[in-house]
Amino acid sequence: MTPTLSDRLAAHVLAGARSLGLPDDDAALTPTALAAHGDFQTNLAFRLAKARGENPRALAERFLAALPNDPALVASATVAGPGFINFKVTEAALAADVGARLGDDLGAPRPGVGKTLVIDFSSPNVAKRMHIGHLRSTIIGHALDGMFRFLGWRVIADNHIGDWGTQFGKLIVGWDRWRDDAAFAADPIGELQRIYQRFGEIEDPDGELATASRVATARLQAGDPELRALWRRFVDASMVEFDAVYARLGVRFDAVLGESAYEAALAGIVEKLLADGLAEVSDGAVVVRLTADDGPGLGEAPFLVRKADGAALYGTTDLATVDHRLATWAPDLIAYVTDMRQQLHFRQLFAVCRRRGIQVPFQHVGFGLLRLPGGKTASTKSGVVLNLVDVLDEAVARARAVVDQRSDTLSEDERAAIAETVGVAALKYQDLSQNPQSDIVFDWDKSLALDGNTAPYLLYAHARCRSVLRRAGDAAPGPVVLVDPSERELAMSVARTPDVIRQAAAAWRPNLLCDHLYGTTQAFSRFWERCRVVGDDVPADVTASRLTLVTATATSLRTGLGLLGIRALDRM
């Protein structure tokens, strides 16, 4: 693996800090805002001066003088503003770095080797069709999965399916009263969803239907063979449809375990909490009382682990899930990708785990809501729903119309494959390119736009790179020589790709990678306008250099898109 330019510069900066007897734990290197000011900037001297009560610019000048001499890496280093230091790397160092980024692994360091991450995402409910509201957890989680794997982590992608609970009592009652066997045979999930929605429309919490559903739930959870068989039928039908949707999205899991998998452990967890003095009985229920010492706001409401009627809850199941993950995979980190509305629940869960002596760190990756026009959120129970499979079909249909207009030389099979890739990619990228914590209003035209900062724009840039390489024929890539400013800009964007992947993973924000890939694509467009790669009037050494740069660009785009769950195309 080849250290990145920022890694090499960080070592350079920290060596200077050590020579002055200053703390050397974080070089705080970032790209400069303007290329005219250099390539990288550090505010280390500024921060240390503030902490020590010294003049920031004076310390920065001392820091600059103490930096080791490395003419192979550093072309210039200057103090800027109130105490920042800007660096410009040498053309030779940048050119060599581009030559090291030609493989799919980008030749990048793997800081996660030896560590294990369990990441929980998607988690649809059985007997309900996946709707547009499920898209965010699924694709954000999958993108994070990809980035951590790239960084060397062993990743366990765990799909915690909602396959247990009171909704099955409702389905069982509705199944007996309203099912249409022919409709179920033709569309199992559609019929189950219709039954569930009908129950919700006429249910009275104190009425006969509600009572019947509670009795059915109790019989199911007690192990009634007939109801267990019916429940298994619902689960199996659901998984067939879920798997078809995941296949279209290019999403895979290492484990798919429903809430039912932890049923046998729930009673023991509650009794252990009571025995250890971590929980108490309150009005017949069992709760863990948290305090402000466990975290801001956590002393306002207890964490409920068993209801007064003896029923377990999501929190109980989540505790059992943590125990299973620790025993099975011994993770170094456990992450949950859910919407922001569940933030308090997970803060409580993590606090209870800490009280139980669990030292493994947890991360809740909260994301904003995906709303439909008019401000409503998708809900199967209310019938306000836009089915995900329908959205995917519409995305592909719209992409196909564009492909047919612009790619009339391609075969029918090629056009169909491109439309499927472009349509799904456009839908995914429109979401991933935004800060996960932001709410999104779903809009057909915006979600499926084919220009601007979109997946199709990035895919087209990659296809153009591949076209250039095909046209080059037998011409071989060679050492990079950066002459035109657009070549240097593109080379620096390629060189920064491994850094951005690390930053995006550390921040749990795939949109940072999207922003970088878009910037790389724009840099490639400027390079394309200014620099010919092949032609009789282009010297052979220039062609060789630019072929390496184009290859590195294609690799950077292909790898980055792949981490986002988007397959790059060679032709469009």
Q: What is the pLDDT of residues 216-256, one digit of tens each?
A: 988 998 899 999 999 999 999 999 999 999 999 999 999 99
Give the CATH number for residue 246.
3.40.50.620
The reported pLDDT for the residue numbered 384 is 53
Question: What value, to the nearest 5°, has the Cα angle with vertex 522 and ends 518 and 524?
Answer: 115
466 and 541 belong to one structural domain: yes
d(CA 367, CA 543): 46
* pLDDT for the residue numbered 379: 52
- How do residues 189-204 score in pLDDT, each as one tens digit? 999 999 998 988 887 7
Question: Is residue 41 within 8 Å of residue 85, measured between CB atoms?
Answer: yes
Same domain? For 80 and 167 the reply is: no
Q: Is residue 62 part of a domain?
A: yes
Domain for residue 463, yes or no?
yes
In whole numbers, what is the pLDDT of the chain averaged over residues?
Answer: 92
Whether 288 is covered by a domain: the verdict is no
224 and 357 share a domain? yes
Give dist(CA 63, CA 50) in Å, integer: 14
Same domain for 475 and 437, yes or no, is yes
Residue from 458, 384, 456, 386 nearest 423 by CA: 456
Distance CA 521, CA 403 (A): 21
Query: Residues 317-349: pLDDT tens digits?
Result: 999 999 999 999 999 999 999 999 999 999 999
What pLDDT was estimated at residue 202?
A: 84
Q: Are 434 and 557 within one domain?
A: yes
Exposed, middle or buried by CB within 10 Å (0-12, 13-18, 19+), for 140?
buried
Do 138 and 173 fall within a single domain? yes
Looking at the fold, whether 398 and 520 belong to one and the same domain comes out as yes
Q: Is 395 found in the same domain as 349?
A: no
Residue 383 lies in a domain: no
Q: Write the single-letter amino acid at 5.
A: L
In a domain, 453, yes or no: yes
Q: Which residues pair with 280 in a beta bridge?
A: 287
Is 70 exceeded by the pLDDT of residue 375? no
Q: Coil, strand, or helix at residue 131?
A: strand
**Whether 410 and 365 share a structural domain:** no
| Inter-residue contact 521 to 554 (CB < 8 Å) | no
User: What pLDDT is attached to residue 34?
Assistant: 87
pLDDT level of residue 440 (50, 70, 90 thresholds): confident
Dist CA 37 CA 559 (whole Å) = 29
Domain endpoint, select from 73, 89, 105:
89
Q: What is the CATH number of the domain that holds 13?
A: 3.30.1360.70
- Give the contacts of 348 (CB within 8 A, at least 6 positions apart): 290, 298, 301, 303, 315
What pLDDT was estimated at residue 131? 86
Which two three-digit tokens encode residue 439?
């709410």
Q: So what's the pLDDT on residue 210?
A: 86
Long-range contacts of 196-204 (CB under 8 A, 24+ apart): 196/127, 196/128, 196/167, 196/170, 196/171, 196/380, 196/381, 197/380, 197/381, 197/383, 198/174, 199/170, 199/171, 199/173, 199/174, 200/170, 200/381, 200/382, 201/383, 203/170
- Total domains, the chain: 3
At residue 380 the predicted structure's pLDDT band, cuts being 50, 70 and 90, is very low
Average pLDDT score over residue span 522-534: 96
H or E segment to which residue 62 belongs:
helix 56-66
Higher pLDDT, 133 or 412: 412
Could you give phi then psi for residue 76, rounded to 5 degrees? -160, 150
d(CA 62, CA 56): 10
DSSP strand pairing (362-367 vs 333-339): parallel
Integer Cα distance of 4 and 325 in angstroms = 34
Judge whether 239 lies within some domain.
yes
The enclosing domain of 459 has a CATH number of: 1.10.730.10
Residue 296 lies in a domain: no
| Torsion on CA atoms 61, 64, 66, 71, rounded to nearest 10 | -150
pLDDT for 221: 83
Which pLDDT score is estimated for 50?
85
Q: Is residue 183 part of a domain?
A: yes
pLDDT of 448 above 70: no
Q: Are residues 188 and 336 in the same domain?
A: yes
End-to-end alpha carbon distance in the chain: 33
Residue 447: predicted pLDDT: 67
Q: Are residues 448 and 481 in the same domain?
A: yes
Domain boundary among 74, 89, 104: 89
- Could you tell me the two tokens for 392? 């995917």
**pLDDT on residue 544:** 96
CA distance 484 to 523: 12
Q: Per the structure block, which two tokens stand in for 545?
A: 């250099």
In order, the DSSP letters of 90-105 are -HHHHHHHHHT--STT
Backbone Cα Rg of the chain: 28
Give the residue numbers spanning the domain of 17.
Answer: 5-89
Tokens 């069982």: give the residue: 172
Strand ranges (E), 90-150: 116-120
Percent of all residues in the chain with a pLDDT value above 90, rounded to a whole number: 74
| Mean pLDDT for the stretch of residues 159-185 | 93
Q: Are residues 444 and 555 in the same domain?
A: yes
The whole-model pTM stands at 0.94
When pLDDT is averaged across residues 74-78 and rounded to a whole number, the result is 96
- The answer to whether residues 523 and 493 touch, using CB atoms and an 8 Å cutoff, is yes
The proportion of the chain whose per-residue pLDDT surpasses 70, expressed as a percent, equals 97
User: Sign (positive/negative) of CA torsion 481, 484, 489, 490?
Assistant: negative
pLDDT of residue 207: 80
* Last-in-domain residue among 89, 111, 135: 89
Q: Is the pLDDT assigned to residue 378 strictly greater than 60?
A: no
